[in-house]
Structure 1
Amino acid sequence: MYHSVATSSTPAFSDFVVSPERFETQIHALAVAGFTSITMSHLAAARAAGVALPEKTIALTFDDGFLDFAENALPILQAHDFTATLYMTTRFIGGRSRWLAPEGEADRPMLSWADLETLAAGGVEVGAHSDTHPQLDLLAPQVLARELMVPKVTLEDRLGVPVTSMAYPFGYSTREVRQMTAHLGYTNGCVVSDVVSSGDDHPYSTPRLTVTGSHSAADVVLMSGRASTRQERTKALLRHHASRGLRRAGLKKKESAALSRSLR
C-alpha cells in the first residue's frame, strides 16, 4: 500500500511519501524477482471463484488520489507492465488534500476528473476511499452510508466503470462498516494490518502492507514474497486495535466535530 510518490512532505506525513527514485527501485526489484500485479477486484474475484493465482502475484494499491500518482508513479508502473488500484477520496477530486490539514499537508494536489478518466481507460482500477476521509467506525449509520455510497455512485457515473473495491480510511472498520460496504455493492474492502494477505482473509477485511520511504527495494521484495506467520498476524491485529483505540479517543475529544464542520 502506497499513498504519495513525491519528493517532499512535512515531517508528520513523511511515512506516507516515497520518493520517485526509491519507488522506481522498489518496482524494478519486484519485476526482476518475477512478480506480476493485478487489481484488488481481480484478486477478490479470483478468490471468490476459487481460482489459484501464480505464487508471485501482488496487488499494488494507492490511497487518497494524489496527483503525483499520475505524474510520478504511473510511468514507473507502466514501464514494468504493472497495474494498480487507486482509491479515491471523492470530495477532493480536482482540489487539494484539505483533510490532511492536521499533518500540514492540506495543499497536496489531487487528481482531476480528466486524470481519472485517462487512468480508468488505461487499465488502472479506480476504487473508493470514502467521500471526505473520516474514520468510518465513528460515524452514525446514515452518515456511514453516505460516506460509502457517494464515492461509488459518483465514480461510476463519471467514469462509466464499476467501482467494486473500498479501502477504509485509516484502515479501520467494524462489522457494521463491512456489512454496509457489502450491502452497497462493493465486492471487497481493504484494511491496514501490515501482514501479507492470504486466501483465508475475509473479502471485506483484506490486509495490506504499508510501504514507506524507508523501505529498500530488498525490503519490499522480502515483504511481498513470504506468507505472514500466525504470530505475526496476531501481533499485527493487536497493534491495529491499539492504534484504532488511540485514534478513536483522540478524534472524539479533539478533531471529529471540527473536521466535519470544515468539510461541509
Structure 2
Amino acid sequence: MCGQQMKSTIADIPRHSKTPVPILCYHSIDTTGSLLSTSPRVFSNHMLHLKRHGYTTLTFGDLVDRLSAKTLMPPKLAVITFDDGYRNNREIALPILKRYGFTATFFVVTDAVGKRASWIERDFSTVLGWAREGGHTGRLSENHRKIFKSRNAYLASLDKTALRKELEKLVLVGHFPLMSFSELSILSSHGFEIGAHSHTHPFLAELTENDVYKEARRSKEMLQNRLRPPVTSFCYPSGNYSTNVAHIVATLGYSGACTTERSSVSPSNHNIYALPRLLMHDSYDAHKFRLCLSRWFPLYVFAQIIWKRVKQ
C-alpha cells in the first residue's frame, strides 16, 4: 500500500472507534438503600441523562458480537444490565426503558426464577448473626473472616454497626420476588436479552471445575428450553470468577461474560470473558453518574483506592 492510500485509510477510521463503553450494572429497583438497590427516582434520572446526552444502547450480547468482530462503536454507547431478575425490574425499570427507547440485558439465576434471592441470606447469615450480637470475636472463625473479606471487601471494611445495617438491608432485598419464566418470556419477546447468571448463584471460583460446569450449563439449558432464543451471555455471580471459570464458560458456548470490576470496556483492549461493569446504586447522583461515563472515571477509582490505603 502506498503512503497516500495508507493516509486515506487511516483518515477513514472514525476517531470514536476507541471510545470506552460503560456497562451499567443494576440489581433491584427499590427504596431500601441497600448496596444492590437503586431507587426508581435515581434510575429514571440515569436513563434521562443517557437520553439527553445522545447515548444509544445495545444488549450485552450485541456488544460482545461487535467487540469480537472489531466493529466500530458509535461515540456514545452504553449497555444496561440487571442482575438476579427482580420483578421490580419489569414493573418499574421496564416502563422507563421503553419511554427512552433503550434496550437491556437481564441476567437470571435459573433455580430462583419465580422465587426469592435466597442466596443473600445463605451467604451472609453467619456474618449477620455475628454483627447482630455485637461482633464478638468468638462468634466468627478466622476462616469465615477470610472468606467474607475475599467475597466483599467493602462490607468487610465496615464497623460492626454499619455492617449490621447494610446486611439487614441486603437480607430485605433477598425477600423481594423474582420474575417468573412467563415474565421473562415477555421481556424476550420485546427484544430484551435474557442472559445466564448461574443456576444457584454460588461463588464460582470456590467450586470444583465440575460444579462450575454444571452451574453454567444448567442455567443456559433451562433458559433456552423455556424461552427459546439462544443464551450467549453469562454474568459471574458476585463478579466472582477465575481463569478456569472463564475457560469453562467459553467452552459451553457463551460468547462473552461480565464481572463487577469497576471500569468501562476498552474496544481496543479487553477480555471478552471478563468485561468490566459499573455497579449502580443510589450513591450515583447526577455528578457521580456523569463521572462514571467519562474517560476520567478510572482515575477517580484509582484515587479512591489510594485514599483508603492512606486512611488505614
TM-score, normalisation: structure 1:
0.84
Aligned length: 233
Whether the 8 Å CA contact 1:2–1:16 is kept in 2: the answer is yes
**Within the alignment, does 1:113 sit opposite 2:159 as a pair?**
no
Which of the pair has more CA radius of gyration?
2
**Within the alignment, does 1:81 sit opposite 2:149 as a pair?**
no
Aligned letter for 1:196? S
Q: CA deviation at 1:227?
A: 6.0
Unaligned runs of 5+ in 2: 1-24, 125-169, 307-312
Aligned residue number for residue 208 of structure 2: 140
| 1:223 equivalent among 284, 289, 292 | 292
Equivalence map 1:194-213=2 (5 Å) = 194-199=262-267, 200-213=269-282
Q: CA offsets per residue over residues 204-243 of structure 1, 9 Å max, x none?
A: 01000111111113322331232655x67878999xxxxx
Equivalence map 1:158-237=2 (5 Å) = 158-199=226-267, 200-226=269-295, 229=298
Q: Which has the higher contact order (CA 8 A, sep 6+)?
A: 2
Q: CA deviation at 1:150?
A: 0.7
Q: CA offsets per residue over residues 96-154 of structure 1, 9 Å max, x none?
A: 11112134233110000110000000111000110000000000111111110011000
Change (3 A) 1:56 1:144: same
Q: CA deviation at 1:30?
A: 1.1
**Within the alignment, does 1:27 sit opposite 2:44 as a pair?**
no
| 1:149 equivalent among 217, 227, 240 | 217
Aligned residue number for residue 53 of structure 1: 73
2:280, 2:242 → 1: CA distance? 24
Aligned residue number for residue 5 of structure 1: 29
2:76, 2:63 → 1: CA distance? 13
Aligned residue number for residue 153 of structure 2: none
Aligned letter for 1:53? M
Aligned residue number for residue 82 of structure 2: 62
Cα RMSD of the aligned pairs, angstroms, is: 1.9
Aligned letter for 1:165? S
Q: CA offsets per residue over residues 174-204 of structure 1, 9 Å max, x none?
A: 1100000000000000011111111111100
Aligned letter for 2:86? F
Aligned letter for 1:188? G
Aligned letter for 1:137? A
Aligned letter for 2:217? M
Change (3 A) 1:222 1:228: closer
Aligned residue number for residue 171 of structure 2: 104
Aligned residue number for residue 127 of structure 1: 195
Q: CA deviation at 1:21?
A: 1.1
Whether the 8 Å CA contact 2:291–2:297 is kept in 1: the answer is no
Change (3 A) 1:233 1:74: same
TM-score, normalisation: structure 2:
0.71
Whether the 8 Å CA contact 1:39–1:85 is kept in 2: the answer is yes
Name the SS for the 1:63 alignment partner: strand
| 1:72 equivalent among 92, 101, 104 | 92
Aligned residue number for residue 37 of structure 1: 57
1:133, 1:72 → 2: CA distance? 24
1:134, 1:149 → 2: CA distance? 14
1:118, 1:218 → 2: CA distance? 35
Identity, % of aligned pairs? 33
